[in-house]
Chains A and B, each alone.
Chain A
Amino acid sequence: MKILVCISNVPDTTSKINFTEGDTKFDTSGIQFVINPNDEFGLTRAMWFKEKQGATVHVATVGEASTEPTIRKALAIGADEAIRVDAAPADGFFVARQLAEVVKNGGYDLVIAGRESIDYNGGMVPGIMAALLDMNFVNTCISLEVDGNNATAVREIDGGKEKVSTTLPLIIGGQKGLVEESDLRIPNMRGIMMARQKKLNVVPPVDATPATKETRFEKPAPKGEVKLVDADNVGELVELLHNEAKVI
């Protein structure tokens, strides 16, 4: 089984978000980039396929050279080879188009992407990729087993779970549940050294016109102050809700 894990290089979840150029660009100064959390679950699941079922695992990122530390980390964790499509990820369609090309050229049986990338939270790439490639697609995937050509997946759906069976080649949009947080791997020193020797293929992008364009970013309004009312003081609460919050 040949697996491709699609890795989005995203700001660390504790980053302070700011915008520049008249609120049209994300300000990356001082930002620490990490493997998108949904993709890290996918990468770990892929490592299990590698260790238990002898799969080969490649990772792909659409991004500029600055994404290479994130790619190296994926290699240090244990991926066999990496592909970087040398282009700024302009939008979800653009990225999906690039990744589709990687999948087509690499002949992958299973493509593990994340349900969404926590930077722009588009939640589009794996779906568009599946459409472009005409491959089976399971989104919000929280469990995946593969036996020969058959795959069994569990999806998270509103208020429950859905079990689906499908066949390879398959694309999933994965999330926590594929593996748990405690299963995530920390690269070890030998892995870091081995990553030096692994192939990181840089390929040019294919022609694709982004389908969207940002006009402006805006931060949510800051949260208001919290007032604590003693549990015994129902009168005060009612008074505040009525006169100050004006909700009753």
Chain B
Amino acid sequence: MKPDLFESPDYFMLDDLLSEEHKLVRDATRQWVKRSVSPIIEEYAQKAEFPKELLGGLAEIGAFGPYIPQEYGGAGLDQISYGLIMQEIERGDSGIRSTASVQSSLVMYPIFAYGTEEQKKKFLPKLATGDLIGCFGLTEPDHGSNPSGMVTNFKDKGDHYLLNGAKLWISNSPFADIAVVWAKNEEGRIHGLIVERGMEGFSTPETHNKWSLRASATGELIFDNVKVPKENLLPGKNGLGAPLGCLDSARYGIAWGAIGAAMDCYDTALRYAKERVQFGRPIAATQLQQKKLAEMITEITKAQLLAFRLGQLKNEGKATTAQISMAKRNNVEMAIKIAREARQVLGGMGITGEYSIMRHMMNLESVITYEGTHDIHLLITGADITGIPAFS
């Protein structure tokens, strides 16, 4: 793997809109990615293994729950800082960003937002330090885009709940210590439960042979008459809105994260195009390559502005689910298109692990599908502007 020479594009001087603290947060994360992620990530992706050695570093820099208040072990940063952290981590690899997203937005956030004081005190500080790693179980084999049809369920057995069902495509499940699981009660209402590794009847087989997010571990959650203590139910919110609230937070982070992947592809392609000589001149001197590069920087710039504005809205508590959908959808598609174009700029070299582009491209195939598929986000926008949901 080539040394990480990344320089971030900032065509519209977005840095002027960031506070000194935002820049410090961003630069610190970037420095950590250059030091700890870039040198090892390709090898882990090639062997399809999650680099567990990065968990300590992710916790140490504060990528687990950056916006969770300090009293619960988080850093208490704002939403733009959270976005910038996701951007920088995904600049390294979408799989590592996925781990940080899941831990922060899908595990810490629901415990923080819907949990009891005891649950917050028990789990959040350990999740922030990485002593506990969590995963989020919503998707099922037969219910992906339509989670409300889920069949995983629990029954009240007096002193405990009895949980049955299965979840599929769960990031971090193979090594997670706890799982925030969404399941229906006897009345068919969706609730969140914290399931802990070691509970009888709970297993987490890994899903192999992925061509995408290879440096992230994905697996199942299987519940075979698992006795879950009653104090592990998240009482603060129920119904589909509860898991969707978590998804809003994670999708917001992805809208930023995708920019990181796109910037890395653009930066690599730009550098390569200036250095690679064919027909006696750098390929960057040709109009066709310039078109690609010019379109890339234009799209990145638009995505940056979209994410920044969404960050401001989130900070003010005004960002809507539909706005977040639009940003996630736009920015991930932007990134995947840039990855494909950038790969071509590198010719044959673009398909090798010497460069990060093809890894980003393959990763983004998951990113465009998880946390709401590209189609579903369009339907959310459609429903929002027409008032007519077209899902079913």
**Residues of A in contact with B (beta carbons under 8 Å apart):** 68-69, 72-73, 76, 186-190, 192-193, 196
What is the distance, in angstroms, from A197's C-beta to the closest C-beta of chain B?
Answer: 11
Partner of A189, one of B23, B31, B35, B75: B75
CB distance A192 to B31 under 8 Å?
Answer: no
CB neighbours (8 Å) of B322 from chain A are none
The answer to whether A192 and B75 have CB atoms under 8 Å apart is yes
Contacts A76-B28, A189-B66, A196-B21 given; 5 further ones with Cβ under 8 A?
A69-B23, A76-B24, A186-B35, A189-B61, A193-B75
Contact B77–A193 (Cβ < 8 Å): yes
Contacts of A72 in B (CB 8 A): 20-21, 24
> Contact check: which of B20, B21, B32, B76 meets A186 at CB < 8 Å?
B32
> In the complex, what distance in Å separates the CA atom of A190 from the CA atom of B72?
12
- Kindly report which residue of chain A lies nearest to residue B64, judged by CB atoms: A189
In the bound complex, do residue B24 and residue A186 qualify as a contact, i.e. CB atoms below 8 Å apart? no
Interface of A is mostly: helix
Q: Counting CB contacts under 8 A, is B212 at the interface?
A: no
Query: Within the assembled complex, what's the spacing in Å between the Cα atoms of A187 and B28?
Result: 6
Query: Is residue B70 within 8 Å, beta carbon to beta carbon, of the partner chain?
Result: yes
Contacts of B31 in A (CB 8 A): 186
Determine whether B60 belongs to the interface, using a CB cutoff of 8 Å to chain A: yes
Residue of B nearest to A190 (CB): B75
Verify A192–B23 contact, CB threshold 8 A.
Answer: no
Check: B81 CB closer than 8 A to any chain A CB: yes
Chain B 20-34 per-residue mask, 1 if CB under 8 angstroms from chain A, else 0: 110111001001100
Task: Across the interface, name the chain A residue whose C-beta is closest to B21.
Answer: A192
- List chain A residues, Cβ under 8 A from B66: 189
Contact of A192 among B28, B32, B60, B63 (CB under 8 A): B28
Q: Which of A68, A76, A188 contacts B60 (CB 8 A)?
A: A188
A192 with B25, Cβ < 8 A, contacts A69-B20, A186-B61 known: yes
Which residue from chain A places its CB closest to the CB of B85 in the assembled complex? Answer: A189
B243 touches A (CB below 8 Å): no
* A34: min CB distance to chain B, Å: 9
Pairs across A and B, CB under 8 Å, 16 listed? A69-B20, A72-B21, A72-B24, A76-B28, A186-B31, A186-B35, A186-B61, A188-B28, A188-B61, A188-B75, A189-B28, A189-B61, A189-B75, A192-B25, A193-B75, A193-B76
A73-B61 in contact given A186-B31, A190-B70 (Cβ < 8 Å): no
- How far apart are the CA atoms of A192 and B66 in the complex, in Å? 11
**A187 to B29 alpha-carbon distance, docked (Å):** 9
Closest 7 CB pairs of A and B: A189-B62, A189-B75, A187-B28, A188-B62, A69-B20, A188-B61, A186-B31
Note all chain B residues with C-beta closer than 8 A to A76. Answer: 24, 28
Pick the contact of A187: B24, B35, B81, B85 (CB < 8 A): B24
